[in-house]
Structure 1
Amino acid sequence: MKNNNFKQLLLGIVIGISIAFLTMDIYVRINPTAPAPSNNNLIHKNVTIVENSISEAIEEIYDAVVFINNYSGNSIVSTGTGFVYKADNKYAYLLTNHHVVENSTRIEIINSDREKADAYLLGSDKYADIAVLRVSKNAVKKVAKLGNLENNNIGDTVFTVGSPMGIEFFGTITKGVISGKERFVDTDEITMRVIQTDAAINPGNSGGPLVNIMGEVIGVNTLKFVKAEVEGMGFAIPIDDAMKYAEKLEKGEKIVRPLLGVTLVDIENLFYSPQLKIDKNIKSGAVINNVYDNTPASRAGLKTNDIIIKVNEIEVPNIAYLRYTLYQYNIGDTITLTIIRDGKEIQKQVKLDMALD
């Protein structure tokens, strides 16, 4: 009796093991992606690499780009790139850099069909490095689509269209990513907001478009802010800012920036100005080092050691951001500055009635 029970138990074990192996084999066959049993539990995955192409985006912008010759007398003194940002029934309007067309006696554009036309300079601003040109509508082939910086992020693919080294390399494409969105650089007494990119911006690319993968212009390339010893760091003026300047320059108006009338020190640089006495717990803001007489700042009652932290509720963590924010206002505007004085926040109304020379 005992032998029969033992045989039945042994038979049951054998059948159970066989069913287990059969089940595993069926599962693997039905699910070929299922991991095969192994001692180290390795999992293998199929990876598909897709090549990203910007060819469609290039088609959107390519024929809106022009090559620019800057003449002094009969000689070409500089060259660059520009692009058509709008057109009406008679004229087309182009953006480029101020330094591309500076001191010109004649400006010539060449489109993607190598057709030449004279351009008229409507206005330019050396501080912003922006210039607006006008040509006959028949001289251009396409109008660029304009985007905005806000809808683009760090790491997004961008490319430039330009003519490095001259007309023989017209329409050269260089590709990269947005490396930084809210960069501020100081030049010629003003502060500019710029887009940082690792797309190559070479001589001849100045004034050309920085374009996203939708084929929209998001910036105007400029070499003005680039240091020769730094590689892989290019800059473009955000199209949002460029168009604010273009609206005035197009009408022949001069860009006038308001003067506050102070000298400033960043919180992080206070060790250079030991005479300023600031609470060590304050980590950001622009400290007033000196207030000039008969200026908007003096008339508003600003004082040495005041720390400016806001302009009309916009936080200003440092001097660069303060200047950039200030230059968004017009002569005659009144702004509210939030300052810290003797450990307390107070507000001062400042009428911007003087212009930066």
Structure 2
Amino acid sequence: MFIRLGALCFLASLLYAQPLDQKTFTKIFGQVKDSVVTINFSSTQIVNGRPTTADGSGSGVIVSNDGLIVTNKHVISDTTRSFRVTLAGGQELGASFIGMAPDTDISIIKLSSLPAGGVKPAIMGDSDQLEEGDWVLAIGSPFGLGGTLTAGIISKKERSIPITQEGGRSQPHYLIQTDAAINPGNSGGALVNMKGELIGIPTVILSRTGTSSGIGFAIPSNVIKKILSDVAIKRTTLGWLGMSVQSVSELSLGIKRQLGITAQAGVVITDIEKGGPAEKAGLKQYDVLVRINSEEVASVSNFEWLERNLNPGDTALIKIERRGSSQLQDISIAVGESNKKTP
């Protein structure tokens, strides 16, 4: 069962090679703690056909000097009735809703005023540089307990799990899997590396009890950077190519032989939307897509992330393997517009 969300301390391996001393976690916590906030909110839910007020709390991470805060969409969304932000030092401030990603669990809010002395934004790290076994720390407000620190490792750098967003589709990117304890209330908090850099935002756990079982997931920092960029440039549309795909790695050898697929990586086109960009570009069912512009396509999540980041109206160059051809082909495709909208 996937539970949104939460963190407590679970150290996985004393043999891990990354050098640590007794105060390593303490030092990193001191660097990061003032960047993590608690968010208390009230929302209206329909229970037995009647509107009911529900109160709750989550976490958020300050990401700019002017008070922008990243959190989860299931913590704060455009339907949240009211919310307040509590800083690490205990000061409570008002905030306003800025926007949310249409296809992943990220929302952005902004402090209505800044505290004396300003705020301390988190330093963004590069989530692509993570490796399995790296130590990470989770900081947030599990069960409303602000400033809680937990520790663990990267269990899986890139994990695709079936968490559906609006429209019934999974989020268009990998998640980071960690065994740092994540509990309800850690949603939207910080997952940081040993440099004190933000490398993820905890979003969901896999648990039979609703509390941490050592299997938690975070949205990578490089995804968060893209969402923040979309907001900064006031991007309102997402790219769409008009095709459904399946990872080549998921196909059996028998299916590959039957379809004439020799590519070792990429995604195979399983369906093409009538009148869509793929059909207009001459793509065919069972073509294998291996690259979009300069980016290699490794999986369905990878394809969907690259697709959504294309600009409608632009022309993308894709590279495919087609049955009966011994060479890869380049095809230009006019990017369409997704029916999803950015913040």
Range of TM-score over shorter length: 0.7 to 0.9
- Work out whether 1:125 is the aligned partner of 2:110: no
In the alignment, does 2:300 pair up with 1:324? no
TM-score (structure 1 length as normaliser): 0.76
- CA-atom RMSD in angstroms: 2.8
| Aligned match of 2:17 | none
What is the Cα deviation at residue 356 of structure 1?
A: 4.0
State the match for 1:201 in structure 2: 182
C-alpha spacing 1:59/1:335, structure 2 compared with 1 (3 Å): same
Q: Relative to structure 2, which stretch is displaced further, 138-147 or 307-316?
A: 138-147
Residue pair 2:313, 2:334 contacting (<8 A) in 1 also: yes
1:267 deviates by 3.0
Deviation per residue, 1:188-238 (Å, 9 max, x gap): 324222222111111100000111122221111111xx3334932211112
The answer as to whether partners of 2:69 and 2:109 remain within 8 angstroms in 1 is yes
* d(CA) in 2 for partners of 1:245, 1:348: 28
SS of aligned partner of 2:27 = helix
**1:56 matches 2:27:** yes
Q: Does 1:108 align with 2:84?
A: yes
Q: Which one of 211, 215, 224 corresponds to residue 242 of structure 1? A: 224
Aligned letter for 1:153?
E
Q: Which residue of 1 aligns with 2:13?
A: none
Identity across matched positions, percent = 30
Q: Secondary structure at the match of 1:54?
A: helix
Instruction: Give the aligned partner of residue 114 of structure 2.
Output: 137
Q: Answer yes or no: is 1:71 the counterpart of 2:17.
A: no
Deviation at 1:127?
Answer: 2.1
What do residues 290-340 of structure 1 show as CA deviations (whole Å, max 9, x unaligned)? 222211101100012211122124222332322222223222222111111
Within a 5 Å distance, the mapping from 1:167-178 to structure 2 comes to 169-178=145-154
Determine whether 1:163 maps to 2:141: yes
Aligned pairs, how many?
301
Unaligned runs of 5+ in 2: 1-19, 45-51
In the TM superposition, what whole-angstrom CA distance separates every residue of 1:223-269 from its partner, at most 9, and x where no partner exists?
1xx33349322111122220210233356654x32221122233355
Measured in 2, the distance between the counterparts of 1:294 and 1:335 equals 17
Q: Check conservation: 1:123, 1:250, Cα contact below 8 A.
A: no
Match of 2:207 in 1: 228
State the Cα distance separating 1:160 from its structure 2 match.
Answer: 0.8
User: Does residue 291 of structure 1 match 2:256?
Assistant: no
Equivalent residue of 2:174, what SS? strand
SS in 2 for 1:129: coil
Comparing 128-137 with 276-285, greater Cα deviation is found at 276-285
CA contact (8 A) 1:277 1:305 kept: no
Q: Distance in 2 between matches of 1:150 and 1:269?
A: 23
Letter in 1 for 2:277: P
Which one of 324, 334, 341 corresponds to residue 351 of structure 1? 334
Q: 1:57 Cα deviation (Å)?
A: 0.7
Of 154, 160, 167, the residue aligned with 2:132 is: 154
Contact 2:263 2:321 survives alignment (8 Å): no
Aligned-partner Cα distance in 2 for 1:317–1:170: 38
TM-score, length basis structure 2:
0.79
Contact 2:239 2:312 in 1 (8 A): yes
Amino acid at match of 1:77: D
Contact 1:82 1:96 in 2 (8 A): yes
Runs of 5+ unmatched residues, structure 1: 1-48
Matches within 5 A, 1:273-288: 277-279=258-260, 281-288=262-269
In the TM superposition, what is the alpha-carbon distance from 1:163 to its structure 2 partner? 1.1
- Structure with the greater relative contact order (CA < 8 A, sep ≥ 6): 1 or 2? 2
